[in-house]
Structure formats: C-alpha cells, structure tokens
Structure 1
Amino acid sequence: MTKNLVSIITPVYNAEKYLGETISSVLAQTYKNFEYILVDDCSTDASAKIINNFALKDNRVKYVKLERNSGAAVARNTGLEKAQGAFIAFIDSDDKWYNSKLEKQVKFMTKNTLGFTYTKFDLINEDGSLKKADVQLPKKLNYTGLLKNTAIACSTVMIDKRIIGEFKMPLVRKGQDTATWLKILRSHEYAYLLDDVLNQYRSVPSSLSSNRIQALKRTWNTYRNLENLPLHKALYYFGFYVMNAVLRRV
C-alpha cells in the first residue's frame, strides 16, 4: 500500500442529480494523495457519463461498473477489493466534503495512531441550503455505544487498514454501513470523533436514510438479524437509539 494513500469509495446508482457536486468536492481536497473509486451499480441515467468526464480530466478518478444491479453493499465491497490505499474513506453520491476533510482526518489519525474515525457534519436540504449546522456527536463510540447511538455517518468515516485490517460490508440492502462499524468495534475498542465539521450530509426525501420509518426498520433488523441480539437486549438498545435520534433530529 502506498504510504498514506486514501482510497475513496462511492457506490453510484442513478445519481446524476448530485453526482457532479460530490465528485467536485472530492477533487477539491487540499490533500492530494488519493484515488477515487466510483462503482456504478448499473445506472440507467447519465451517471456513467458524468464519472467518465471527470476521469478524462483527473486520473485519480476510477470508474468501475458492476455486471448486474446488486446494491450498495456489493458496490462498496467491490470498491474495497480495488482499493490500493492504506486509508479507506467513503462518500455517498449525494453528499459533499469540505475541502480540508481528508487533510485534517489523515493528520488526526496518523498523529494519534487511530484506526477508525468519523467527523461532524452539516445537514443540508435537497437544494443544498443549510438545514442544521454542526450536528453534535459523541466524542468516541464503542460497540455498545454505537448500538445506543447510530451516529456515524458513512460519508464521514475513515479507516486505517494497517490498524483495523481488511474488512467487508455485510451483503444486506439496508444498513450495511452501521453493521460494518459494529463488526469492526467487536475487535477494536473505539471509533473516535474528529471534532470538526467536514461534511455536508444531504437530506433527500427519496433516500433510504431520510425515511424515518425505514430507518427504524433498518436498525431493528441490524439488532435482531445481523447482530443477533436477544429480544430484551434489542429492545434496550433500540430505546436508546430512538432517544438519541430524536435528540439529533436527523
């Protein structure tokens, strides 16, 4: 692995509306030592054209297309298989990064020898206007803490594989990111917050994460079917999850 190379992974499915903004925010990073792997899950819109137009101008942009529509977990795992970097970062196809995101996060992790970090973010509306600034998050989360407060947004995560090791996302259509963080935290004590707002998380009405009923179902499925928690423990952690989600109002 190239020293401190960051491999950035984006699953893409019919993302033409915001994809250009997402890619532009990555290419505008002050930290330049990265590769950007965009995995096309058989989009039927202009997503492929958008990616390839950027790739023609910047060889750090890498276009990968799946043979069949398989979901975000397979797309992210395909990106992980292609990744050459010591660091792994994720950004969803409708989110954006502030331009110092990678620089500050790599510095934070290398200075403190951290394997798993996340950052704070601004919540934005579909049109890019600010919905909620500086969403407050816990300073660190262990396994049980994450069960109580699923506060780690995928687009804020960075993982150092030299510390965490190789990992894959569970092959489920919904909630594979939180399930992955839980899996990592079974053997690594904490994920740590970089206490800086470095991301814009877009609240899109049609997205899975913006639908609160779906979010409740997704989290319950994670507790019961992925983590295999007994009913009484699932109910205990689910109560904390709901409370913390209300407090964040995200």
Structure 2
Amino acid sequence: MPAYNAEATVGAAIGSVLAQTHTDWELLVTDDGSSDGTGAVLAEAAAADERIRPGRTAGRAGAAGARNEAIGRATGDYIAFLDADDLWLPTKLERQLAFAEAGDVPLTFSSYYKVAADFDDDPARWRPNGRIVRARDRLDYRAMLQQNHIGCLTAMYDRRTLGTRYMPDLRKRQDYALWLSILRDGGEARGLAEPLALYRDARADSLSANKLSLVRYNWQLYRDVEKLSLPRSLWALGQTTVRSVLKGRI
C-alpha cells in the first residue's frame, strides 16, 4: 500500500484489511514522503497490530517506488495491491486465494465497485450500488495491450511461480506495465466475476486532464518499456484510446 498525504483515507483502507476473513496476511504500507498526518496514522495502526508494517521512502519516490519498497519487504507467497484511498470487501483475500489456488493461475484479479470519492461507510455493511467494473474471465498479452483490464486494487500474483516482480519506474501506468510484463512471459491472467473491492472515483474536475495525460503515458509504456515497434505501438494506442473513450475511462 503506497501512501502519500493520505491521512483522510488510509485509516479506512487499513481497516478494510483488518476486517478480512482471511487473517494470515502482512500489510506493508509505504509512506512516500507525506507532509500531513499519514505517518502518525500508520504508527498508531502498527502499534495496535503487528501484522501492519510501515515503511518510508527516501523523499518522494512516486507510486511505483513506494509500491516497490513494500514489495521488497514482503515475505508472503502472494503479493496483493491496495491503494491508500481504496477499500477491500471483507472476503476479498479469502475468495481470491481460493480462486487462484483452485485454478493454479499466478496472476488473478476481480470485479470491483466504484464509489464516490467521499465514501465513508464501513465496507462490511456494503450494499451493491450497481456501479460495477466487471472482470474479464481470461486475459493474455494481446488483450492487455488493447486496454488495462486489471484494477490494481484487485490484482494478486503468486511469487512462488513468478518470483518477486517489481513495477517499472514510471510516473503513471506502472501497474499496467507490471501486468504486461507478467503476461509477456507467457500464460494468462484469470478474473473472478465477484466484485471484491471498492474504488474511489477521482474528482470530477480532474478527469479530462487525466485522460489526456494518460495517452502520453500509454505511449511511453508501449515504446520505452514494452519496446513495441512503431506500427504495433500505434495499434495498441489506438485500441486503448478508443475503448477507453467509449467506456468513459482510460
């Protein structure tokens, strides 16, 4: 869990992990140079439960650097991701671990709900709101080039099969880059249809700017990280842009 100036939401995100029906976990939260009370919230949570293990980056490392700092401290067989402003539903780990082990698939993800940015209810009392981002059943590398179909807050990979995999040092789209790198090596990802997490919508006034900037980051990903040819990069960018515009998201 990367956390930057997340004092208002990180406590709820941690609480959603504490409420998991599967209890054998470690929560590695990395404070990415926050200037608010994030560090105090993390210290209090760690004092109350030894499974919560805070860390800190040297200055501002960005989301990729903060996530990688946490991954580097992990000791478990699986790596799962949750941002400091999102939430897991109580059975998330239990259901996804059973799904991953039954299907013997090293990269899994699930459907999730969208909620308002100011959502402050307890996930344990969650009632479906109909705003579901549905997971695809299966994904391979070609399908992922067309769009990032994996919500980071639902992703989980098996270190026993894949080894410890880090996110490329990109300002944005570093999670997308990690999924692509895993699928590029062969195999597929499997999606669980059941929604298992709550994703806070971005502020309405930031959506247009974010959509435009992400086109640039997608291009950087295809050309500089994936090393795709110019024609294939143009094809991938066209696919992801058109699909995202049609769905109202990038």
Q: TM-score, normalised by structure 2?
A: 0.90
Unaligned runs of 5+ in 1: 1-9
- Is the contact between residue 17 and residue 90 of structure 2 (CA under 8 Å) also seen in structure 1? yes
User: C-alpha displacement at 1:105, in angstroms?
Assistant: 0.3
Task: Tell me which residue corresponds to 1:223.
Answer: 222
Identical columns (%):
35
* Residues 166 and 110 (structure 1), Cα distance of their counterparts in 2 relative to 1, 3 Å cut: same
Separation of aligned partners in 2, 1:87 and 1:244:
31
Matches within 5 A, 1:2-41: 10-41=1-32
Deviations 1:128-171 (A, max 9, x none): 28886221232111111100021111111011111112211111
230-239 vs 128-137, which moves further: 128-137
Please tell me the residue identity of whatever aligns with 1:222: L
**Higher fraction of strand:** 1
Aligned residue in 2 for 1:244:
243
> Which amino acid in 1 is paired with 2:210?
N
Q: Counterpart of 2:167?
A: 169
Give the Å deviation of 1:188.
3.2
Q: Distance in 1 between matches of 2:220 and 2:90?
A: 35
Amino acid at match of 1:155: L
Task: Give 2:134's aligned amino acid.
Answer: Q
Asked if the contact 1:204/1:210 (under 8 Å) is kept, the reply is no
Q: What is the aligned partner in structure 2 of residue 195 from structure 1?
A: 193
Question: What amino acid is aligned across from residue 176 of structure 1 in structure 2?
Answer: Q
CA distance, structure 1, for counterparts of residue 4 and residue 73 of structure 2: 19
Please state whether the residue corresponding to 1:39 is helix, strand or coil.
strand
Helix, strand or coil: the match of 1:92?
coil
Deviation per CA, 1:107-145, whole angstroms, max 9, x where unpaired?
Answer: 101111110001111111211288862212321111111
Report the equivalent of 1:6: none
- Counterpart-to-counterpart distance in 1, 2:167 and 2:26: 20
Q: Which runs of 4+ in 1 moved over 4 A?
A: 129-132, 206-210
- Indicate whether 1:180 and 2:178 are aligned: yes
Whichever residue aligns with residue 245 of structure 2, its letter is: V
Change (3 A) 1:47 1:106: same
Give the drift of 1:85.
0.1
Q: CA RMSD in A?
A: 2.0
Q: Which moved more, 1:72-81 or 1:83-92?
A: 72-81
1:202 maps to a residue whose letter is R
Q: Hey, what does 1:150 align to over in structure 2?
A: 148
Q: How does 1:118-157 map to 2 (within 5 A)?
A: 118-128=109-119, 133-157=131-155
Q: What TM-score, normalized by structure 1, do the two folds share?
A: 0.90
Distance 1:207 1:74 in 2: 23
- The number of residue pairs the alignment matches comes to 241
| Alignment partner, residue 104 of structure 1 | 95
1:135–1:248 Cα contact (<8 Å) kept = no
The aligned amino acid for 1:32 is T
1:212 — aligned with what?
A: 211
SS in 2 for 1:16: coil
In structure 1, distance between residues paired with 2:36 and 2:230: 43
Partner Cα separation in structure 2 for residue 19 and residue 221 of structure 1:
30
Aligned residue in 1 for 2:123: none
Please show how residues 56-135 of structure 1 align to structure 2 within 5 Å.
56-128=47-119, 133-135=131-133
Structure 2: where are the runs of 5+ without partners? 121-127
1:4 equivalent in structure 2: none
Counterpart-to-counterpart distance in 2, 1:180 and 1:138: 18
